[in-house]
Amino acid sequence: MAEVREKPTASTSPLHFARFEFKYILSAAKRKAVEKDLLYFLDYDPFVAQLPDHRYFVRSLYFDDPGYSAFHDKIDGLKSRYKFRVRTYVKTFTGSAPIFLEIKGRHNNLVYKHRTPVQPGVNWNTLVGNLVSSELLRKASKSQVRDQFEYDLYRKSLQPVALIDYQRRPYISKYDPSFRITFDEELRATKTTGLFPGAASAPRRVLAGCTVVEVKFRHHLPAWFHQVIQAHELKRVSISKIVSGMEVLDMAYDEH
């Protein structure tokens, strides 16, 4: 499906895409050195160019079934898998906060994401558990994402299980706008069934002191990035923020 481009803001990022994603975990010291080298080849995403510290906040409420199948599908390395989440870009809810229902998955080595906007008119501060799901069905724009979510909601008994927050700094290649690199830091996980759990929640740090770097591309890695990989001896990792978060929250474990 073709990528849909709108004015570059966090709330209007592409509704649909399919691409390759490579991930790396960097210590604070290595992150600084790697980012310094990458700046020769990258520009800030236009959305963050004028923002403080050139980054924005991301919050995702993830869904899973009672047996945490999505968690275990990732741990088991299934080549075809997917999960649902609700995404927003604010810590405190207001009526104008952008909210999206998303499905993100993998088929072989290709990562895809489809999202549909959730219409305003809901006080998300007060909603937890099944109320979140019912309002998503009522307010999510008509789409294949909404239809698949409804089907899985009843077939798999999906429930919201945990919240993942982080700060993201996005870059775009100076030579190929489809080649993107994001630096995600200050990861927090909260065991909650609501999108805005409030001050009483108890978030836990995930990968404390580290940055998750995601490299996103459609066709191939450019030669200059291969040189950065070799110069800094970067090693690809298979990591999921929600899997790491659920482990930190003592919700589920890799039993292998």
Q: Residue 233: which residues within 8 A CB-CB, separation 6 or more?
A: none
Flag whether 26 is in a domain. yes
Flag whether 195 is in a domain. yes
Flag whether 2 is in a domain. no
Domain of residue 90, CATH code: 3.20.100.30
Q: SS3 of 166, please?
A: strand
3-state helix, strand, coil in the chain (%, to 5): 25, 35, 40
Flag whether 179 is in a domain. yes
Q: Residue 185: which residues within 8 A CB-CB, separation 6 or more?
A: 166, 167, 169, 210, 211, 212
pLDDT one-digit tens code per residue, 100-155: 999 999 988 899 999 999 999 999 999 999 999 999 999 999 999 999 999 999 99
Flag whether 253 is in a domain. no
pLDDT score recorded for residue 8:
37
Domain that holds residue 199: 16-248
| Closest to 45 (Cα-Cα) out of 167, 164, 168 | 168
pLDDT one-digit tens code per residue, 154-193: 999 999 999 999 999 999 999 999 999 999 999 999 999 9
Flag whether 254 is in a domain. no
Domains of the chain: total: 1
Flag whether 5 is in a domain. no
Section 18-40 average pLDDT: 95
Flag whether 8 is in a domain. no
Q: How far apart are the first and last CA of the chain?
A: 36
Q: Could you identify the residue written with the tokens 């050139």?
A: 54
